[in-house]
Each structure stands twice: as C-alpha cells, then as structure tokens.
Amino acid sequence: MAEKLWGGRFETGPSEVFERFSGSLHFDKRLIGADVRGSQAFARELERAGILTAGERATLVTAFDEILAASREPGFYVGASDEDVHTLVIRKLKEKTPLADKIHTGRSRNEQVSLDTRLWLRGEIDRTLDLLAGLLDALLDLARRHPNAVIPGYTHLRRAQAVPWPHYILAYFEMFARDRERFEQARRRVDVLPLGSGALAGSGFPFDRRSIAADLDFEDITRNSMDVSADRDFALDYLYAASVTMVHLSRLAEDWIVYSTDEFGWLELADGVTSGSSLMPQKKNPDSLELIRGKCGRVIGSLNSLLITMKGLPLTYNRDMQEDKEPLFDAVDQVQMSLEMAAVVAASVTLREAVPAAAAADGWVVATDLAEALARAGVPFHYGHKLVGRLVLESVRAGKKPTDWTPESLAAFAPEFSPDMAALLRPEEGMKTRNLPGGAGPEAVRTALEEAARRLDSMRR
Ligand code: ARG
C-alpha cells in the first residue's frame, strides 16, 4: 500500500477492497502532464510567497521534469498502488527530494484536480477544433468535386425539392462550424485558473493568483473558492459540445449509409472505409459510418452520466466527482476519432451524379416551382397549389413524368399554366428562382461556397 497524503489522523490503513474501489490512478494517469505542469507553476508561486528558496524551487522543478520523462518509459506505473495520479507524483517526488514535503503548502487536491482537468481539457479542445477544421475542409472539397450536381432534398425521407449537391454539403458545413463555436465557448469556461482556492475556502497563503494564471496561460481566475471545489460545469460544457457534434456526425453517417445503399445508389464509399462479410462474399458494408453513428450514443451517455453525477451533490467537493473523468476522457477520444474518421470518409466519397439527377427529374420535386410560378403570375397560391396537386395526381395515375408534359398539354390541363412555365418541369430551372441568401439557387450556392472557404480560412488563423 502506497503512503497516503492524509494518513496522520488514521490508526489503520484502508481496506484492500476500499483501495481497489476508490483508486483512480488507472485512468487519471492521463493527467500526469497537466499535474506536473501545474505543480511546477505552483512551485514558482511558493518561491514568490517565500515558502521555497530559488534553489529549492529549481530542485523541485527539475525533479518534476524527471518524473514526467520517466512516466513515458514502460513500467513506470507497474505496481503503483497510489490513490490517484496526484498522490503518485508526490510519492515519486519524495523519492527524489525531501523538499517534496513542501510542495503541497496551501494547496488542496480539490483545486488540483480541477486545475489538471482544465489544463488537459484545454489542449484537447484545441485538438478537437483542429479536427473540426479538417472535416470542414474535406466537406468543402467534396462539394467542389461535384459543383453542378443536382440532388433531391428530402423531408420525411420523401423527395421534396431539388438542390445543388454543394448546398446539401454546406448544410453540414454550417452544423460543424457552429460546433466549433460551441467548443470555443467551452474553452473560454475551461480557461480559468482555480488554483488559490484551497480545499474550499481559499488558500491561507497570499498567492498572486494572476501571476500563476499568466504562468499557465489562463485567461482569467475563478472568483469563488467554494464554486471551484464544487464545479464541473466546464466538463459538462465540453460534453454538450461533443454530444451535439456527435449528433451532427451521426446524421451525416445516416444520410450516407442510406445514400450508398443499392436502393439509393448515389454514393460510392471507398474500399478503405468499408468492410466485407465473413459469410456473404458480395457485401461491402459502411462500418465506418455505422460506428460513428454508434459512438454518438456513447458520447451522449457520457454527458448524461456526468449530469446525473452532479445532480443533487451538496456543496462543495464530494468524491462522487471523481466519476467525471472516465466519461470525459472517453468522450474526448470518441469525438476526436469520429471527426478524423468522418474526414477520411468525406475524402473517399464519390457521387454518381446521374442517379440523384434522375431521382430529382422523376420525383415531382418541381411541383413547388410550378405552384410558385402560378403565384408569380397572379394565381392565388392556395389555388395554384391545388392545381399542381391535381397535375401530380393525374401524372401518377397516368404514369407520366414531369417532362412528359409539353407547354400545350399543360395549358390544356389548366389554362393558368402559361407556355413558359413548362421550362420549370426541369429541376435545374426552378432552382434558379431561389438565389436569395441562404437559398438553393445556383448563384447563391456558389457565393455560399466561396464564403465558406473564406470562413474556414479565418477559423484556421
Ligand atoms: N482523485 C480525486 C478526484 O478525482 C482527487 C481529489 C481528492 N480529494 C479528496 N478530498 N478526496 O476527485
């Protein structure tokens, strides 16, 4: 049993079961880099506060560096029975220097665990932001590979109105661009220094919290020590942003699983992101997309897990809060891997342009265009809507496609249809009426595509 940071008050040590039950080293060792960095900054503050001499501070900072380097070697954790990563680091420090006994002066693990998690999570958010930018880039590329393709847009998974392929892809661009904003907002709440809060009541030493914040590159300092010990909102903010991102990824995955079926047949997924069947030789399954969809549930589960952990905890710290880490770590892993995977799938996708074009041509996605043309010609919209509805009904009965109608047969069906309206029976024509900002008109989409590229550039700057 490794030595505790709190053994003095106890006559016997913890039971073996309690040690196994409560220990967190096997997962919170992920925070060792942050723990060392935070402790080094704290050592510098202890020097400013007169607790350590410059020489002592230097000895400790070097010892921390050595511990971090050693932690990257195999075997570092073998046999370690420390309660958590913070305890392990201090034990290793004690093996190097008796000065280790001074490092925890005026510091609590309650603030240390908040500090470490914030430092670590800040770096992971930056990586998540980069991965999102990578996906946005892959999506723009995919839009540009088929600039003039036309697909039916869906509501209720029934053909609704025709849109340019880039317009469909840019819908996802918007979702993932908002996801980036959500992660940036989460980052601002993570980027606040908790150190100086003590266990819950503030430290008993006159630390210059602003200078520790500057040392660790934090934007701000926390304003209430009790809040620090009790708060995991910053982790929840990340988990919410991660969950929304996963929902967007999952919907993209679902779209492309459907669009790449034999029944739809629009999309070809590359061999590199699909798998076969051990029994059925013909199969090419979209496993990469299915796993993205599957991991979405897992990340939402992590958000729920922490919300439920926090609900009803009395102020301030409670050991329940140690349960924040596994869901947080797992969500970070799953969202990052999913973003990476989605970008690779996007880069591998080819649109068989003729298939959705035919689906758009056959599917009466032009009906709204006709109804709106009638309205533009002065026919009250509800009446025009009814006329076109009857035209569709008649076509369905007679097995007619939109382009089977001529200007003459249209006018014969109803005199409200002027000869020029027959042009609208082709989806490409009606789309041209939708060139307002945000619309699916080809001009509007070209502008949106250029704008999206500029926005991605400024996100990356
Ligand atoms: N391993 C603990 C956690 O993650 C560190 C804080 C321990 N503090 C305490 N009062 N037991 O929450």
- Using CA atoms, how far residue 147 sits from 168, 175, 217, 268, in Å, is 11, 20, 44, 17
Examine domains 109-207+217-358 and 360-460 and report if their fold is the same. no
pLDDT at position 7, please? Answer: 82
- The rounded Å distance from CA 108 to ligand 1 centre is 9
Note whether 249 and 339 are within 8 A (CB): yes
Active site residue 275: no
Give the residue-averaged pLDDT of 101-111: 96
Active site residue 277: yes
Model confidence pLDDT, tens digit, residues 21-71? 999 999 999 999 999 999 999 999 999 999 999 999 999 999 999 999 999
What's the rounded Cα separation, in Å, for the pair 201 and 295?
A: 40
What's the rounded Cα separation, in Å, for the pair 187 and 185?
A: 5
Cβ of 24 below 6 Å from ligand 1: yes
Give the residue-averaged pLDDT of 293-306: 98
Note whether 235 and 243 are within 8 A (CB): no
Cβ of 321 below 6 Å from ligand 1: yes
- The rounded Å distance from CA 86 to ligand 1 centre is 9
Give the residue-averaged pLDDT of 94-102: 97
Which atom of ligand 1 lies at the shortest distance from residue 321's CA? 12
**From 1.20.1260.10, 3.40.640.10, 1.10.287.990, 1.10.40.30, which CATH number describes the 360-460 domain?**
1.10.40.30
The two structure tokens encoding residue 104: 């925890």
Model confidence pLDDT, tens digit, residues 52-63? 999 999 999 999
- The rounded Å distance from CA 112 to ligand 1 centre is 9
Note whether 285 and 275 are within 8 A (CB): yes
Asked if residue 114 has pLDDT above 70, the reply is yes
Cβ of 385 below 6 Å from ligand 1: no
pLDDT at position 204, please? Answer: 95
CA within 13 Å, CB half, 186: 29
Note whether 384 and 375 are within 8 A (CB): yes
Name the DSSP class of 378.
T
Name the CATH superfamily, with its identifier, for domain 7-102.
Answer: Fumarase/aspartase (N-terminal domain) (1.10.275.10)
Percent of the chain with pLDDT over 70: 100
- What are the structural domain ranges in the chain? 7-102, 109-207+217-358, 360-460
pLDDT at position 66, please? Answer: 98
Which atom of ligand 1 lies at the shortest distance from residue 83's CA? 1
Query: Across the chain, what does the average pLDDT equal?
Result: 96
Name the CATH superfamily, with its identifier, for domain 109-207+217-358.
Answer: Fumarase/aspartase (Central domain) (1.20.200.10)
What's the rounded Cα separation, in Å, for the pair 342 and 253?
A: 8
Ligand 1 atom 2 nearest Cα: 322
What's the rounded Cα separation, in Å, for the pair 421 and 411?
A: 10
Testing ligand 1's pocket by substitution, the residue of 89, 113, 116, 325 carrying the most ligand atoms inside 8 A of its CB is 113
3-state helix, strand, coil in the chain (%, to 5): 65, 5, 30
State the catalytic residue, choosing from 22, 275, 277, 409.
Answer: 277
Model confidence pLDDT, tens digit, residues 397-451? 999 999 999 999 999 999 999 999 999 999 999 999 999 999 999 999 999 999 9
Model confidence pLDDT, tens digit, residues 330-358? 999 999 999 999 999 999 999 999 999 99
| Single pTM value for the model | 0.96
The two structure tokens encoding residue 93: 């420090």
Q: Which of the four pLDDT bands, split at 50, 70 and 90, describes residue 1? A: low
Give the residue-averaged pLDDT of 84-108: 97
pLDDT at position 9, please? Answer: 87
